[in-house]
Structure 1
């Protein structure tokens, strides 16, 4: 899909909006936006570039009214790329996040959770570089949970099927997530405590639930159409005046030859 979002440097966030992809919570020494650096399914993709341990990149989609209850989740997908120039630990790659809200009211944030898909949190993993990786999140996929005030050990012991059934067992300081919890938004992100630099991209992002989006392919905005200089309109009276002038010159020349 083509969006108006170009590359921006942090600290930066787009003005909050629904039903459109946005750049959110971009930390200093980080850049996010659609570029042609790593083209996929066309000529573009979303660049995620962070320059140090404080760097953070986020590409996010919020649905008006949410995507439906957690129990309606069917699958999610995205593609990611890690450039070989990245210096962060070998297991790091762009992560996929699903935000859920227990009561479906975004204004009450104390009951919200983030479900993280991150291969490095599931065990030993080395992210390939210089190649595109396609990920599919389904019922058997394990996710770890972030909740404000919880231990947040990144221990992915819960599958999406268990989340859908309301069977999540909260960590210390956390809370249960019912099957009726509303899926508010999805995002892909890098950084926040990753020591080193990361450069890569994501594309073809989507989720299937009661309400779905994508997979969205991100492309560079097409160039503006070429402008054609208008041809000046010929003025009838100017042509008549020119014709009369030429006729007068011709008559004057004939008189001179006769004299």
Structure 2
């Protein structure tokens, strides 16, 4: 782990976390269906030796989905205790990530890896079953990206852009809120509504953000190959992290003569 200061468009200090297969720092594959793939890859490195590969090869309808997720809320006590109570929707200060769409992709030209904030809207009772869970979802097509650039890394700074909401719990109120032109501030202050029959939420500045994910699919309908790197999530200057996806550690010098070659990831590691 180290602190980097980068020239615009990432012209601010943040703490970099190197995420590798051997040291994922809490990041895990999630919602990976039969026709989806997510893994660390050396195919398209951004800063070091790798990045995160996300791909679909649809053979069965609805099975083209894969995500990579960091859920930092791990405490399951009742009543709920939040591991990072300062990480709320109102405190989100920076969100950005690099994405790459390979020109070999056959799905519609606006599809790129999607960014999600995972939220819990606490009802204020001791019973967690009263809370609302869901995703605030950023998609390029609702932010002017159509068609997406191909075969090049693109940075999206999304903190002030449009997000839509998918409610996962309670099941009686689950589904997509079909309002695709609302910012995080709108969701905090305006309680946007969707179409008749859509779920209803009333998010606020106090809504807890408990994780982040990037992903591809479902229902994209054809092959997709893409990559993600340098996911940045900040809740003010003292809580500002950039997650750098690599295959091998680039911050550890292999000067020890007892280094062993790990051919599972094609890199040298200390044992």
Common fold, TM-score beyond 0.5? yes
Structure having the higher strand fraction is: 2
Aligned pair partner of 1:201 in 221, 227, 247: 227
CA deviation after TM superposition for structure 1 residue 217, in Å: 1.3
| Residues 109-130 of structure 1, C-alpha deviations (whole Å, 9 max, x = no match) | 8511211111213467101110
From the superposition, tell whether residues 106 and 73 of structure 1 become closer, same or farther in structure 2 (CA, over 3 Å).
farther
Unaligned runs of 5+ in 2: 1-16, 74-82, 260-271
Does 1:117 pair with 2:144?
A: no
> Runs in 1 of length 4+ with deviation above 6 angstroms?
223-226
Count of aligned positions = 215
Does 1:5 pair with 2:21?
A: yes
Aligned pair partner of 2:181 in 141, 157, 165: 157
| Residues 18-60 of structure 1, C-alpha deviations (whole Å, 9 max, x = no match) | x521111111122211110111101100011111152111111
Does 1:22 pair with 2:21?
A: no
Local SS of the residue matching 2:176: coil
Map 1:213-224 to 2 at 5 A.
213-222=240-249
Aligned pair partner of 2:162 in 105, 127, 142: 142
| Residues 53-97 of structure 1, C-alpha deviations (whole Å, 9 max, x = no match) | 521111111224246121111120100001111111111000111
TM-score between the two structures when normalised by the length of structure 2:
0.70
| Residues 207-257 of structure 1, C-alpha deviations (whole Å, 9 max, x = no match) | 1115745211111225986659xxxxxxxxxxxxxxxxxxxxxxxxxxxxx
Local SS of the residue matching 1:184: strand
Local SS of the residue matching 2:245: coil
From the superposition, tell whether residues 55 and 130 of structure 1 become closer, same or farther in structure 2 (CA, over 3 Å).
same
TM-score between the two structures when normalised by the length of structure 1:
0.73
Local SS of the residue matching 1:120: helix
| Residues 191-222 of structure 1, C-alpha deviations (whole Å, 9 max, x = no match) | 11110011111000011115745211111225
Q: Is the 8 A contact 1:87 1:196 kept in 2?
A: yes
Q: Is the 8 A contact 1:151 1:174 kept in 2?
A: no
From the superposition, tell whether residues 155 and 220 of structure 1 become closer, same or farther in structure 2 (CA, over 3 Å).
same
Q: Distance in 2 between matches of 1:212 and 1:199?
A: 32
Q: Distance in 2 between matches of 1:106 and 1:185?
A: 21
Q: Is the 8 A contact 1:100 1:185 kept in 2?
A: yes
Does 1:98 pair with 2:95?
A: no
Q: Is the 8 A contact 2:20 2:249 kept in 1?
A: no
Who is 1:56 aligned against? 65
| Residues 123-152 of structure 1, C-alpha deviations (whole Å, 9 max, x = no match) | 6710111011101112x3111111243562
Structure having the higher helix fraction is: 1
Q: Distance in 2 between matches of 1:150 and 1:213?
A: 31
From the superposition, tell whether residues 124 and 220 of structure 1 become closer, same or farther in structure 2 (CA, over 3 Å).
closer
Aligned pair partner of 1:75 in 94, 99, 102: 94
Who is 1:183 aligned against? 209
